[in-house]
């Protein structure tokens, strides 16, 4: 049986809701979150990649697939490839003005994504939230949040495996500064705060909801504030990875601080 992927489902939802910005945003969010296998002309050399570039009437495109088996099916032969996250691939292609041919001829999510759309995705994913200090006067149950935002948070936090124990979404009051919402992460892994804040910001951006800002906070599991978060908040459990063997050297594109180089 052919596997149906998250990209397939997001693409189908986008196609069924032609002109729906929210469905289109969710598709691009899934694209940024997924792993892509890019077809190369030769085996990678360190961080240097030589992708197959195809010139067609719509522009210049690199071919990417969300399953290794789909790349093999398209190529019809053993072919070199690089496995990258969607966000790293978007950044790399945008820098070269290239589009992405996704799952061409091998999946229901087959689509040509032009260079300007790839550049938009790369720019959107680069956005980092501002860091500010604010005083919370009271915490209460969240209210009035669109279902689309809650679904976006649930899907996004499912990709943050091992970065924190859990997260709580609560309503907060800042006194004279008004009311809002806070996503409080509990037991965040050291150094993961920026990635988690960015994930929360992307969930808000790609939900298609013009809902203003959502604060993000980080609390140790022993912090007394966690009791209040648990009492009033909507809980999101982050997946916890199983213990693994020592990691092998990173494949091209896996280190966000060392994106691959096109040749």
pLDDT the model gives residue 1: 44
pLDDT the model gives residue 113: 96
Q: Are residues 93 and 153 in the same domain?
A: no
Q: Are residues 47 and 121 in the same domain?
A: yes
Q: Are residues 194 and 148 in the same domain?
A: yes
- How many structural domains are present in the chain? 2
- Give the pair of three-digit tokens for residue 172: 């907060």
Q: pLDDT in tens for each of the 263 residues of the chain?
A: 468 999 999 999 999 988 788 889 989 999 999 999 999 999 888 778 899 999 998 899 999 999 999 999 999 988 999 999 999 999 999 999 999 999 999 999 999 999 999 999 999 988 766 665 677 888 999 888 888 888 889 988 988 889 999 999 999 887 666 788 889 999 999 999 999 998 888 888 888 665 556 889 999 999 999 999 999 999 999 998 776 565 555 666 656 556 666 66
Domain assignment present for 245: no
Domain that holds residue 228: 138-232
Q: Are residues 84 and 54 in the same domain?
A: yes
Domain assignment present for 243: no
Q: Are residues 10 and 99 in the same domain?
A: yes
């Amino acid at each position: 049986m052919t596997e149906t992927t998250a990209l397939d489902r997001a693409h189908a939802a986008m196609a069924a809701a032609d002109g729906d910005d929210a469905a289109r945003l969710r598709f691009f969010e899934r694209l940024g979150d997924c792993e892509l296998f890019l077809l190369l002309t030769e085996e990678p050399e360190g961080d240097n990649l030589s992708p197959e570039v195809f010139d067609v009437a719509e522009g210049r495109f690199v071919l990417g697939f969300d399953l290794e088996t789909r790349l093999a099916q398209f190529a019809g032969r053993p072919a070199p490839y690089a496995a990258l996250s969607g966000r790293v691939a978007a950044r790399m292609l945008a820098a070269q003005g290239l589009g992405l041919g996704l799952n061409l001829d091998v999946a229901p999510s087959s689509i040509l994504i032009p260079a300007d759309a790839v550049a938009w995705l790369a720019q959107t994913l680069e956005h980092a939230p501002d860091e500010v200090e604010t005083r919370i006067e009271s915490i209460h149950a969240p209210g009035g949040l669109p279902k689309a935002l809650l679904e976006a948070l649930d899907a996004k936090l499912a990709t943050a495996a091992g970065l924190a124990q859990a997260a709580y979404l609560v309503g907060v009051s800042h006194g004279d500064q008004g009311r809002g919402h806070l996503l409080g992460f509990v037991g965040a892994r050291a150094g993961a705060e920026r990635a988690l804040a960015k994930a929360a910001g992307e969930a808000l951006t790609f939900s298609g909801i013009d809902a203003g800002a959502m604060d993000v906070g980080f609390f140790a599991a022993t912090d007394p504030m966690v009791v209040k978060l648990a009492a009033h908040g909507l809980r999101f459990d982050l997946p916890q990875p199983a213990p693994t063997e020592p990691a092998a050297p990173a494949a091209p594109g896996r280190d966000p601080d060392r994106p691959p180089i096109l040749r």
